Structure 1
Amino acid sequence: MHIDAQRKDLLDKLHQAADDAQPPNSKLGWRGVVATVAFAAILLALMHFEFGGALNSYFTSDDLNHVTYAYRMLHDNGELLARTFSTVWMQDTSVEIFYRPLIEVSFAVDQYFSGANPLGYHISNFLYSFIGAMAVLSIARSLAERFKVLHVEIIGYVAALLFAVSPLHTEVTTWLIGRVDGLSTMFFLLSFALFLKLPLQSNAVKHIAGLASLVAFALALLCKEMAASLPLVLFSCSFFMSKESTNSKKMRSAAVESAPYFAVLAVYFLIRYWATGAFLGGYVGAVGEANILSFETLWYRLVHFWKVAFPFNEEVVKRTGGFEDAFRLFYVIFGFYLVVRIRFDRFGANQLKLIGFLSSWLVLQLLPLYQVFMIHNTLAGSRLFYLSTAVISIIAAVVLVPGTQSAMNPTQKRALNASAAVLFAFLSGLFIVVGRLNNECWIVAATHVEELQSQLNSAIATLPEKKKILLAYAPIQVLGAHMFNRYYLIQSMLSPPLLTPDQSKRVCVLEPRFYTYDHFIPSGPLRKKLADSDNFETVFWDTSTLRLTNLSALSGIDSSSANTAGLPQLVVQPGKLPGMIDIVAKQYFENRAVKFVDVDLENSEPKSNSSKDVLVLAFDESRQPPKGMDNWCQADYDQSLKFQTVRFPVDEKFAWYLSKETRDFRVYLGERKNLRIVAARLNDGKTLIPSLEASLLTVRECNDGVRRPIAFPLRFEYDVSNIPGAVNCLFELSRPRSMFQLENFTYRDVRPSKKALKSWTHAGTTGSVEVDRGMFPEDACYQIRAFALRADGSVCGVSTDFIDLGINDRPKGQEL
């Protein structure tokens, strides 16, 4: 036993000596330079194979805004450039309060050299990613050397290549505004790489390199706020690398080394506060609220790490295919490899110390994201994880590359080295192939945008001068790639330099921001525009045919009134599948005549406490809607009630307008045996929806669907007399930048908002109300709506169509 203990002690000392062995000198000779240049060429070729297919693709989504903004920057004698550095990002506080002036400068540089040609912009994004990968090469080498880990060069090459070809990077490399993360990460990594080189330099070079590192950090901050984590990362790195004897001394040493970066960060926060009025900022209004999660519900975000492990766009690469199995196979084999390494090629103290630092770096990158981090099945949102993939790539390289192998015989060494090489080649090849497929969605989205621009321009050319095009529906995404989420992107698409002459004034929409993941729309304004065919040509973008399609012809809605007197009865019957209920009209009816489908629901086992659940009503399943569009709607029901009427607002779904007649509906109850549909009825909404109209003497309607003041007080006419039991009218004014429809995901609420800025009651069922300027606490976009009230103060019917109000809400130079 004593001899075994001595032998074990001797082996431990040998292992530690091997761990502490000085790796090769980091200074590259001519062979090292040639090897690095050759690697860079290989990296460029692999990245071009993976991402190069989109280099000639058109602008999409936010790209449109930033290209037109850069165009104005170059044509206003520097005024907009000055405002870019002295106020919030894009001078637009309607959704976010960010400070990212260098992003607009980068677009302006691309604009200067490329104009409206997207190739130059895409090359810039590509180069940002490539330089970032080369910075990862330098960082991984330096860390391996500073922590005295063997195989410095190999670790660097493995980490850089895995980062460069990660399939998660399509959103950053191909989507032009993804440069927010690409450019910030590039400067972040360059700053870190230079910091790690400082101890190896002479005094003169050290001062220059140190200054360059601080400048790179400052530039990273001017690209994105997330770069603020760098001083903490450097502090952690210095702490783990310190040779001081105690933790307190290590902390003091780390504080001294990272102090200049904390000083730069402090100056940045002061400048940011001067420019934006906020030290932190972020998303505001309804978008900001949608991103807020409590720590109790934070676990919900953890499921998104699944897409980090399986990084393919499920709209392009189906989970039932072989790629998910290929990733699973890799992880299983890698698990066996890791067990073998731990057993025969143990991780030394230095390797564990390096992994400890890298883990702390990863945590520091992820913590600020906890409120917004979300990777969808389409990889939308993966850009937020971009910098973190650099850390993961270095961790993977340290774990994958074999260590000292001092306890292994030659055969075992060869087997372990071969296994590592095969695993690396397999993962790299898988990354490249999957990344190339992920990239396809951006090429498709760009094609959609370019076609829509061309067809809108052609349609405008044939319209009478007084007539406008109402674009009633434009998709937010295609296959997960971003397209349009607000009117101002469409406005930019139709403005110079992307389109000359400017045609943006000839196209309007229903609301300023689109939240059509479920494709629900403000049906009241849409019906009014469809009926006003003298002034509006109502169209939508068909994602299946890539055609601008006339909606009036499909919906049958025009200036004539619908026949609502003879709506047919509905018959409830069992469906063909278990848990399915068919609801069939005795004859076809006009879609335009129906706004709701009312379903009487019986619950044989009501719960003791009130709680909500959802039922889904499908309609018109004989017709396939355009890709990405749904022909169903949902409504809440109370699980504590034995009998209730569930009201489905079918005319809030865009697919409802794609046919003139319908007959069949279907409700899926599934395993809920306690629920039974007793009866169902069609409802024209005439006794449910009150009226609220803005006086054209006090407001004007703009192309983004927003009313803006002509003169205060603003005047609104209301009429709730059509609602049985109504005696009074309740008005609600939203908080700035908030939207009522995002509270319960409907435009037809049955209960007042819990978050309204102001609410007040007017006696009587008809009349007018005035809103003074003092009721709006700040310049922003608001909404106003009304409800009918019974004598006891309860709501009857549903809410009116809300009216969007813009109070000096547009940035200077972008007023409507």
Structure 2
Amino acid sequence: MPGLTRLHESAITQKAGSGQQPDLHMGLLLVAFFALVAAIFLAYRPVLFNFFAGDDYAYLPWLRQAMRDPEVIWRNFHHPWMDSQLTQFYRPMITATMALEFFFWGPKSLVFRLTNLGCLALASGFLGLIVWDLAILSSIERSIAIRRFAMVAAFLFALYPLHSEATVWLIGRVDSMCTMFSLAAFWCYIRWRFSGNSQFLGVSLSLSILAFTCKETAIALPPTVALCEIIFGKLFPVPAREAATPLFDWKRIAIKTAPYFSILAGYFLLRLVCFGTFIGGYDNSLALNSDPAAFASRIIHGLRMLVVPINKELLGEHNVFVKLWEAGLALCAILSTISAVRNPQVRRLAAFAFLWFVLALVPVYKVFMIADNLQGSRLGYLASVPLSMFIACGALLPVKKEIFSRFLLLFYACMLFLSGFLLSTNNQAWAEAGRLSNIVQRQIRLLYEKLPGDPPVLLVGLPNSYKGAFVCLNAIDGMTKFPQINRDRFNCYALNDSDSVTPFGFLKNSLLEKSKDIRCFYWDSSTRCLKPVIISEKQMPSPIAWQGEALKKILSPISFGTVLNGTADGGISISAQQAETMRPELEINLNGVPCWPVDFLTLKLKMLNRQGSPSDRTILLLYSNEIIGKFDLRYRTQACLEPRADEQEVLLPLHSLPEWCFGGTCHGFRLLLPANANLILEQLALKRADAILPRLFFEHSGYLEKRGTLELNQSHDCQTLFYDCGEIAGASSAVCETTRPSGSFATPNAKNLDKMTIEIKRFPQKNGSFSLKLNDFPSKGLYQLRLRALDKNNNPVGLASDYIVVSVSEKKAGIE
């Protein structure tokens, strides 16, 4: 390190002349880095205890296997991540480092989490070094401003509120470690260009390779190096051997960046050889996985959450700290802009930061989505590096008076303090999720201490997440293995409304048929314990339809502005006083209705005032029962109004929702109609699925057999399915449709076609059988497949069937 510092000073002297720029002393580096580590420790202190969350549990059985058979670790260097047959991720460094930690410390999550924090600290330090060097390279003359610039960028990235998911969640290591290696490689590239020392180039290329073994976002590194060469290339010192024959710009850029693009080419070639495709992730396509309008909306919302990374389930939009962050960030942007306008050197730094930000988002453009509770925020982790650099550009603002310099320092100190406070607040969700995860694990351990053998067990309503922080999502397999419980169990599964892997609607009847063989438990959120639930057929309530006076008795307005009036023909007129902004909200009092036999709640509606029809046509139905004690937007079903139909029947599907079906008896419904809706409700009814849905099935598809999942691979490349639309009024033919790889249908049992579904087969009869082949699917992955009835004019009739899952693996190699 002393030699590295002397080399740094030598390069600065070559560039700017002796004494013109600040020296980078080892003492300053160490003090700054220890302060950085202390700040990170304070911000993440709430989550520094042992807990696993969500997918973290999926790692534990794999790590145990790796301890017994180390060859599986090596296999990750030439096979998909964790030997998955359904995804195309290449991340062997993640599994190797976690296996090493597991070997020394066992399943202690705190150790894994400390490694993630170490990656964050190192990445922040390398960012500080990068911006320091680039500021010197740009001939920024004020030593205090350069130090302030580097410190603000490093500390802001370390304390940026967005980083909870990527740092606290153990699987988030893919982002934190990839970013650390990428920044280290980038800094060593700058050192090489400063000094001409080929050792730095060798270290940089080695670190680049390590970044590529962590996550696919490393593909942004070679373009970032090229961008740096384009913007700053002429400013680097010219080695003596090159001074005699100067290179043209394009030739210099090509030569200096060629090693990095060679690594990128080698990475793609490795993917082609090992996986049979250049492209990775959940599918093998660059195409959008949503329609352009939805894609644009998702990107815009994600960018807003990236800039204002506040968990809205913890702090509302109007919270004073949120407003302070927005105001402070706006002032930072103004300072950076003024600094760039007034100083061409800063302008170069700001332009580089902006373009780097764009490059950092390119690898995740298909999946970039950050929810209001910051779920998915890890996707913006890399992009927050150049964002921190851009925000810090305001620290380079030239000020002549000492008082303004002190004000600038105080302002950025306040911003860093606020950032750390918001980060600590966001971490509170993960701390509570960790405690909840430990409680669930303890309940499962207690359950199996009393439950002999390994019978089929079904757990309903476990919390997938808590305010955006993962709890039980994809966790059950790891939770039911040693050492989490006394021995391995293999027949325990979890069901909840957001589960897209288990086709509950399809399996509902088989669960009832095999109810004596299946042990069911539901998660009581009030007492935080597992309670037994019995699957039993109950009779449909009588009456099953309400209209006229009977309908009036079960309806009551909730919101103050909802207006209900009776009509001459016995219907109920529904509208809102503030029609443009307010949703009419009704409570439907059906207390005591058994949940299991009720598959659909239907509304017979007559639309009024067609000119004022709502732009958002979605109807939401929230439910409450013995499992879901209070109305919650997470527990709902939905349907859409037909835009051109004056009279229509809206069918709201309930039978594919586990929390509804296992909920015992109904405590009531809450109906949310679209804003600006003006309609008459003529009838409300409860219906079974038999006469509404077409059927799609295959042999041995029940819960205790294939669990509604059809497997296609090289050994079984063709499977026979059966379909029946005979009960659907007006049906004369059928069509089979599927999602994209690893996708889900937007609405279960949808009446209308989803925009992003793929039609794969049409059938001239309304019942029969067909063959599903491996070549019917574009790539490996999990697909949802369902049937839809068509009339004589090939228009959809009724609703789509319950979906089944098709697992496609071992596709033939080739360029997709």
Q: Do they fold alike, i.e. is TM over 0.5?
A: yes
Distance in 2 of aligned mates of 1:310 and 1:353: 25
Distance in 2 of aligned mates of 1:790 and 1:338: 62
1:437 aligns with 2:425: yes
1:354 deviates by 2.3
**1:106-137 Cα shifts (integer Å, max 9, x gaps):** 11111112211112111111111111111112
1:446 deviates by 2.2
Amino acid at match of 1:562: Q
1:707 deviates by 5.0
Q: 1:255 to 1:545 in 2, by over 3 A?
A: farther
1:514 aligns with 2:499: yes
1:84 deviates by 0.7
Distance in 1 of aligned mates of 2:739 and 2:672: 37
Contact 2:510-2:702 at 8 Å conserved across structures? no
Distance in 2 of aligned mates of 1:135 and 1:282: 28
Distance in 2 of aligned mates of 1:354 and 1:771: 56
1:712 deviates by 9.1
1:311 aligns with 2:302: no
**1:81-108 Cα shifts (integer Å, max 9, x gaps):** 23211122223242x3222211111111
1:380 to 360, 375, 378: 375
Q: 1:497 to 1:111 in 2, by over 3 A?
A: farther
1:57 aligns with 2:50: yes
1:399 deviates by 1.6
Contact 2:782-2:806 at 8 Å conserved across structures? yes
1:417 to 405, 415, 419: 405
1:357 matched residue in structure 2: 352
1:144 matched residue in structure 2: 135
Q: Write out aligned runs for 1:235-274 (5 A).
A: 235-243=226-234, 249-274=248-273
1:567 aligns with 2:549: no
Q: 1:347 to 1:98 in 2, by over 3 A?
A: same
Deviates more, 1:104-113 or 1:391-400: 391-400
Distance in 2 of aligned mates of 1:27 and 1:378: 43
1:591 matched residue in structure 2: 595
Distance in 1 of aligned mates of 2:296 and 2:754: 28
1:194 to 181, 188, 193: 188
Secondary structure of 1:376's aligned partner: coil
2:461 to 453, 457, 473: 473
Amino acid at match of 1:189: L
Q: 1:138 to 1:347 in 2, by over 3 A?
A: same
Secondary structure of 2:99's aligned partner: helix
1:291 deviates by 4.0
Secondary structure of 1:135's aligned partner: helix
1:510 deviates by 5.7
1:49 deviates by 0.6
Secondary structure of 2:689's aligned partner: coil
1:715 deviates by 5.5
2:747 to 745, 748, 760: 745
Distance in 2 of aligned mates of 1:88 and 1:226: 16
Q: Write out aligned runs for 1:297-308 (5 A).
A: 298=296, 300-308=298-306
2:581 matched residue in structure 1: none
- The share of aligned pairs that are identical, in percent, is 22
Contact 2:503-2:802 at 8 Å conserved across structures? no
1:305 deviates by 2.4
1:432 deviates by 1.0
**1:40-99 Cα shifts (integer Å, max 9, x gaps):** 221111100101332323111222223332332232141x223211122223242x3222
Contact 2:623-2:668 at 8 Å conserved across structures? yes
Distance in 2 of aligned mates of 1:288 and 1:64: 30
1:161 matched residue in structure 2: 155
**1:167-224 Cα shifts (integer Å, max 9, x gaps):** 11111211111111111111111111112222454x6xx1222211111111111112
**1:317-372 Cα shifts (integer Å, max 9, x gaps):** 23332211221342465577669x66xx9732222222222222222223333332
TM-score of the aligned structures, taking structure 1 as reference length: 0.82
Q: 1:446 to 1:722 in 2, by over 3 A?
A: same
Secondary structure of 2:606's aligned partner: strand
Amino acid at match of 1:320: H
2:67 matched residue in structure 1: 74
2:606 to 593, 602, 606: 602
Secondary structure of 2:515's aligned partner: coil
Amino acid at match of 1:88: P
Distance in 2 of aligned mates of 1:753 and 1:332: 38
Distance in 2 of aligned mates of 1:123 and 1:803: 41
1:173 matched residue in structure 2: 167
1:233 to 224, 239, 248: 224
Amino acid at match of 1:745: T
1:684 matched residue in structure 2: 688
Distance in 2 of aligned mates of 1:753 and 1:25: 59
Secondary structure of 1:313's aligned partner: coil
1:599 deviates by 1.1
Secondary structure of 1:591's aligned partner: coil
Q: Write out aligned runs for 1:79-228 (5 A).
A: 80-94=72-86, 96-149=87-140, 150-151=142-143, 152-201=146-195, 206-228=197-219
Contact 1:530-1:538 at 8 Å conserved across structures? no
Task: Give the unaligned 5+ runs of structure 1.
Answer: 1-18, 811-816
2:481 to 475, 478, 495: 495
Secondary structure of 1:284's aligned partner: coil
Contact 1:125-1:173 at 8 Å conserved across structures? yes
1:547 matched residue in structure 2: 529
1:706 to 684, 692, 709: 709
TM-score of the aligned structures, taking structure 2 as reference length: 0.82
Distance in 1 of aligned mates of 2:755 and 2:152: 54
Task: Give the unaligned 5+ runs of structure 2.
Answer: 1-14, 239-245, 563-575, 577-583, 812-816
Contact 1:239-1:253 at 8 Å conserved across structures? no
Contact 2:315-2:322 at 8 Å conserved across structures? no
1:801 aligns with 2:802: yes
1:448 matched residue in structure 2: 436
Amino acid at match of 2:307: A
Secondary structure of 1:635's aligned partner: strand
**Between Structure 1 and Structure 2, how many residues are aligned?**
757
Q: 1:261 to 1:762 in 2, by over 3 A?
A: closer
Secondary structure of 2:278's aligned partner: coil
Q: 1:222 to 1:626 in 2, by over 3 A?
A: farther
Q: Write out aligned runs for 1:282-301 (5 A).
A: 282-284=281-283, 291-292=289-290, 294=292, 298=296, 300-301=298-299
2:28 to 35, 59, 65: 35
Distance in 2 of aligned mates of 1:375 and 1:724: 42
Q: 1:424 to 1:384 in 2, by over 3 A?
A: same
